[in-house]
Structure 1
Amino acid sequence: MRWTWYLFRFDGRMRRTGFWCSLISVLFGMILLVSLYVGIISVLGGEVGSFDLNADDVFKIVDPRAYRWSLLDNLPLLLLKLAATALMLWTYLAIVVKRLHDRDKSAWWLLAYFVLPGLYNQFEDRLPDTYWMLPLALGGVILSVAAFVETGFLRGTQGPNRFGPDPKAEDDSTPAATSAKGWDQSREIEIVPPHASPPGGMHVKRGA
C-alpha cells in the first residue's frame, strides 16, 4: 500500500504535500497510542504516570545520566516507550530522508540536520558556561531551522535526479490529473452524416 512507502521506506522522493501529510499522520498515531495506553492503565487500575514521545529521546542512549532507572518499576510503561520511540524514530527518518532525496541531498545530511543538534541539546546543561560555547549553540539553532525550512517549505529539484523521477511530474501525469485539466467536448461529439438519419416520408403501415 502507498502509506507504507510514505511512513516506512527510505527510497524515492517525497513532495512537500506528502511530507506534511505524513507528519500529521504520525502525530495522530502518537495521540492514539498515548490515549490507548492511558485507557488500558486506567482500566487495570494502575498509575498512569508520565508518558511522552520525542524523537530526541534516542540521544539518551549515549547519555548514562539520562537513564530512567525508575521506569523499571513500571515494566509495561518502559516497553511501550521503547517500542513507540523506535517506531516514531523510524517513521521520522523515513519521511525526512525521502524529502531530502527530493532536494537532491543524501541521507548523510541527517548528521548535520538531526544528529548534531540532538547531541548538543542532550548535553547542553553539562557544557562549560562560557562564550566559547556560543558558536556551538548558534550552529545548533541554525542547523535546526535550516532543516525545518528545507524539508518543509522548499520545492524539490525539477525533473528526475539521482534518487528518482520528479514526484510532482508523476502526479500531474496521472489519469485523474489529466482529466481534471479539462474535458475536450469536441472529441465526444459524434457527427452523423445526413444519409444516416431516417427519411422524412417513412411511416408505419397499419394492417386493415
Structure 2
Amino acid sequence: MAKKRKLPLIEGLFSLDGRMRRSEYWLVSIGLTVVKVPLTLLGHFLGPDGAAIVRVLLELLFLWPALALMVKRGHDRNRPAIFVIGLQAVLFVVAIVFYAVPDGGLKYAATAVLAVIALYAFIEFGCLDGTQGPNRYGRSPKGIGGDPDSQLAEVFA
C-alpha cells in the first residue's frame, strides 16, 4: 500500500517535486475549474474591458498551480519539467496568435494547433497511467515497485 502523503492536493498546487496520480490530477484540475469559472463569469458583469482584465488576472493567478500540476503529472509519466514548460510555451504563443490576428486562415490554423495540443495534453496527463514503480522523480504514488533506495541497499548488501 502506498504511503499516505500529507495534503497531497495542496502539495500539488505549489510544489514541482515528486509525482502525482491521475486521480489527484483530476481532483485538483476540477477544483481549480470550479473556482476559476465563476470568477470568470463574474468578470463579465464588468463589461468587455473589465472581463478582459479579470481574465488576464485569473490566468496569472492560476498559472503557477496549473504549471505545478502538469509538471508533477509529467513526472509520474517520466517526463522532465522542461517538456511541460515547452508545451505550455507553445500553447501560450499559439493562443497569442489566436487572439491577435483577425478572423481568417491564420486564426483557423491557430485553432487547429490549439485543439491538437489540447488533445495531446488531455491524453498524456489525464488518461495515460504513470510509470510503474520508481522513476527518476521518485517512488510511485500508487506504491508500486517499492522504495528505490531499499532496492539499491539490497543489491549491495
TM-score interval w.r.t. the shorter chain? 0.5 to 0.7
**Mapped pair 1:48 → 2:45:** yes
- Quickly say closer, same or farther: Cα 1:110–1:50, change in 2 above 3 A: farther
Counterpart selection for 1:113 from 87, 97, 107:
87
Residues 159-203 of structure 1: CA deviation (Å, up to 9, x unaligned): 111111000117xxxxxxxxxxxxxxxxxxxxxxxxxxxxxxxxx
Alpha-carbon distance, 1:115 to partner: 1.6
Which residue number in structure 1 is paired with residue 148 of structure 2?
none
Q: Is the 8 A contact 1:12 1:164 kept in 2?
A: yes
Q: Is there any run of 5+ residues in structure 2 with no aligned partner, and where?
A: 1-5, 145-157
Alpha-carbon distance, 1:141 to partner: 3.9
TM score, norm. by length of structure 1: 0.53
Which residue number in structure 2 is paired with residue 191 of structure 1?
none
Which residue number in structure 2 is paired with residue 146 of structure 1?
120
Alpha-carbon separation, structure 1, partners of 2:113 and 2:56: 30
- Quickly say closer, same or farther: Cα 1:82–1:139, change in 2 above 3 A: closer
Give the letter for the 1:5 counterpart.
Answer: E
Alpha-carbon separation, structure 2, partners of 1:143 and 1:81: 21
Alpha-carbon distance, 1:108 to partner: 1.1
Q: Is the 8 A contact 1:14 1:167 kept in 2?
A: yes
Alpha-carbon distance, 1:146 to partner: 1.4
Q: Is the 8 A contact 2:94 2:113 kept in 1?
A: no
How many residues were matched structurally?
137
Which residue number in structure 1 is paired with residue 22 of structure 2?
16
Alpha-carbon distance, 1:86 to partner: 2.1
Alpha-carbon separation, structure 1, partners of 2:101 and 2:56: 25
- Quickly say closer, same or farther: Cα 1:50–1:30, change in 2 above 3 A: farther
**Mapped pair 1:163 → 2:130:** no
**The structure with more helix, counted as a fraction of residues:** 2
Alpha-carbon distance, 1:112 to partner: 4.3
Q: Is the 8 A contact 1:113 1:146 kept in 2?
A: no
- Quickly say closer, same or farther: Cα 1:165–1:122, change in 2 above 3 A: same
TM score, norm. by length of structure 2: 0.67
Q: Give the fraction of aligned pairs with identical amino acids, expressed as a percent.
A: 28
